[in-house]
Structure 1
């Protein structure tokens, strides 16, 4: 690692003007691009004591070997140059949004003498009016096919248009009335331009005037007994209504806005954009992007806005941009959008009303997009195989970790301390093997709780192994060791994991290692995953194992850790709720809300249920004999007794 003092610019060398700076590594590659209102003030902040810097910043400045900068006139120019350089150099310490697909737009080539409506992708061009984007090209073609009946503008390619003009005969669309056939002179270019203007006005949101005009023409034709013409207007009106039905009104005030929703994940971020024009949703797009650093949420919002509009035409920039949080430099971003649009643009966070509800809808879409992405990635057999191999190599494991167990602690200021154990086999969750622990000693730290949980878990493993030896199966190994010969079911806690992952850094890892050493568990690998920088810690090492942020192995560890955290939080919330409002009946396996309600209605109190016999409890509607036996046994047991599965007699929650 380099010492930042070795490449720090001389005093007074850095200008105070706005600009963009680049940090480079020893091979000259750009690893970070940033902008500043004052280059001197910003760059000097990087060259203070490394111990006082944020971990991410410290890692960046110690990875760099030089810094250079470019002075610009305004902050807006700095923002634009920063965006350009990020795209050009792809620096690994910057947040980078990459759209995973080229979205289709409905485009009208207004720069041509006879404009054409078509589907276009990619970078927007001058002389073209865009509407959208749409999720699928077929959605554009369906909309155009519907509207060409009312606005018969040209939709053919240049070659088809020239050929029709040469032979003096229109194509099929001209014959069926879905094109005004300017190629053969049925309408003049100016008359065709009027049709195009009406089409664009309708797509831009001016819909009421067209529907009222068609209704009036239909009524007039019917009054003149021109029923065929009236029928045509009726069909045209139906086509407009079908097109409008596909564009739901979401903002009653006819606002033009883009609504952005985000889901921020430690390794990735999901972005969804709803394009609202004239109060109606005209298009939707979104992407999943890798995060290169721990940038604040406001920076993620700013980068998404700049990425979305930097290459957009003036028509594509709306009057309002609605976001869940303001960008880190709202004035600069607002000025950039105003320059691009050539008019006023407002960036705001909706607080109430229709815009707030629409924002929540966009957020839900972003969450669903992230969930689908994770499910698709988790279900990829090749990706799972790569992840397990990466962990095998990075952690120097004796074998590929086919069974991974992860532990997490959850508490509220030292009370209601619980822990979770989740199991992943072959890179997939094995939910039947999940376990929950209630920590027996209140008030202890997460480190002590981790020691207790690991101790209890591996005592159960040793007990299972002793039982196998007592049964005469001590020489067998593998799956047979973990099967109960009486029930044919897997023994609880009988499988030894290939890798144990704890949620935390060196203290938690050390506690888990100490617990395993006391029990003589030496054949199980151990590591910890720290949340802040996603560092992987192994016992006895002073430095963490750094996996690339795009690593499938790191992604798998993150999934395992997050699942353990979710499972622990759910258990913790249940216990908190029981502590405030629950009863002893809540802990009984197989006793749902309906049966609990029936018991309370019949006996009047938990004390009366506890005093009742099995026969008396079985008389309650919906309570069978076996359930009654479970209820009586559970209420008679001590508070520390384990919860028992009445079907198998096995412990399902280790208390």
Structure 2
């Protein structure tokens, strides 16, 4: 039996709105009457894909028929490519957990290609749990299978190792080690048997890195010419192999940028060590439990919003996330924006008798920190521990202290603060116009 399309005003308005969408790649977001995102999808062509939900076929499709009647609004985020759309969709679904998205809600992450640069003989591997130190990362990639296939092709060319052996040039026992099959088929130079010097092996790794960082044109051109030559000589089997290898290498473009498409769940930070480090560095009487981070974002049309993220016991607590639309500041003025959001946030907490966070982290330097402290002073509110983190040199500023605190880049305390700061920045930048419910966009 044919199901009619919903005739609610919200659905009709959304159907009209989607006709104005661009035809470029991106992510679309369905919202209910309360403004809550109920479904997130990706598209090669936003207008065409999102518009399909407003056709009769959507009312007849068992996957969508039960919920399209809830659509009261639709929005979109434009991306640079289909790959960016896929990665952005995954990130949004994990963070928002829309009730009608069944896939991508789990903890599965996209894979990376990792080169262990600090080892004497670096190895190459595919991983969903990348290390943070001593490695060079590429990705995330959208297809683990395609990535592994590309590595096999690259290994034939650059002959790197993929094993987990701990090879040391000073250990003579490797002189008698028997290499694996990859050495026999000329896909590895067998550093495990010292058949190549450390210098020559590391040179090959540098060539691989150059290839991964954009130097693929020459190699792909040579492989294409070889494929055409094989086909001309009626060696169709060889031509087919080369064709498949070229396709695998071309799929290396199907990856995101490390910074743009961060997957915070794959970079583990020990929360206990981070909190203990903060207690020591900030000279606190007790180990902090609740940290809130504030960031200012400037959106299209001159609008400014502030994001506030909350961490409990060193981990994100997303029900505590808030966004504030800046009301009293015209133009771009981070200092006054921070003053406003800190005033509003802590005035409300104070009036409601709610507990303050143990640490308030402001994104910025001395100026931003002074603006936050001025808000507490003018409101006559006793502040919690307030600090700021300047991104340029990752320096920690404290009120009344002229010199910043400088920590090792590997310090657990700094890494936790960076996590809070980066999460607040990501939350502000990515979701400025998609979550309009009272729980996430706070006008108070």
Which interval holds the TM-score relative to the shorter structure? 0.3 to 0.5
Q: Which has the higher contact order (CA 8 A, sep 6+)?
A: 2
TM-score (normalised: structure 2): 0.48
Computing the radius of gyration from Cα coordinates, the structure with the larger value is 1
